[in-house]
Amino acid sequence: MSENTHPPAPNLAATPWQSPQQRRRFAAPWRTLLSALLFATNAAGTDDMDYNRARTRMVAEQLSASTRGISNPAVLQAMATVPRHEFVPANLRHYAYDDRPLPIGYAQTISQPYVVAFMTEKLEPQANDRVLEIGTGSGYQAAILAGLVRAVYSIEIVEPLAVRAQADLARLGYGNVSVRHGDGYLGWPEAAPFDAIIVTCAPDHVPKPLIDQLREGGRMVIPVGELDDQNLYLLRKRGKTLQREAILPVRFVPMTGTASRR
């Protein structure tokens, strides 16, 4: 599950670029990655070449620090290599790398690329992390995380979407992602604790089961609020305190199941 409208463009004056030195620091890894992508594109077949070009353009024009401030080289690399077109319906693949969400059926969407990159970067994924995702949707966010962390556990409440995402992730070789059909509000207690939790549907409060399943010092990125008044929050668990920072106004589909009955 994911957002169904564009979030406001970020204030570029408030991005991490505070000095020319910082710009140079992150420009070099991106130039290296861009060169590698162009080499791969030239070696690919026609269809793959078109998708590779579109994906490279997506990262350069929609995500990178000179445009919207995504600066983590590992996140940029993941966004530049995961085939987003494989996670959208076949009749929409020519829109796969556009700057917008797309419908995937069952009143759900695949998130706008910028939102995926932004949430991933704010989650601060580490190589040894075990991450819980609430709202598998198409499986695209899980695929992005799969190359950045040790294991991803993803829950989807719409069973046909869970089945399809699991099949697509397996077909594409993302072997460190586990998908289950279930109520995301309740989390995945038998696999807890998690180093990080990412939520791609909006409850009106932070579910306590998810707080309980987050390890000490862990991070959670979650949209919270009613449909027309949501903010994306970065939470950090510090003992009995949950540090909370609002990081972006958004509009996500509501969390259903237990969340809608409370």
DSSP bridge partners of 62: none
SS3 assignment, position 110:
strand
SS3 content of the chain, % helix, strand, coil (to 5): 45, 25, 30
| CA angle 92–103–231, rounded 5-degree value | 135
35 is catalytic: no
CB atoms within 10 A of CB 1: 30
List the beta strands (DSSP E) in the chain.
102-105, 108-110, 130-134, 151-156, 177-181, 194-199, 214-226, 229-238, 241-250
Q: Which of 2, 64, 71, 111 is catalytic?
A: 111
What is the rounded (10 degree) CA torsion for 41, 74, 92, 115?
-150
Q: Which two tokens stand for residue 114?
A: 């910028």
Q: How many whole angstroms separate alpha carbon 26 and alpha carbon 24? A: 6
CB atoms within 10 A of CB 84: 25
Strands 194-199 and 177-181: unpaired
Q: How many whole angstroms separate alpha carbon 84 and alpha carbon 228? A: 28
Q: How many whole angstroms separate alpha carbon 215 and alpha carbon 36? A: 37
Q: Which residues are catalytic?
A: 111
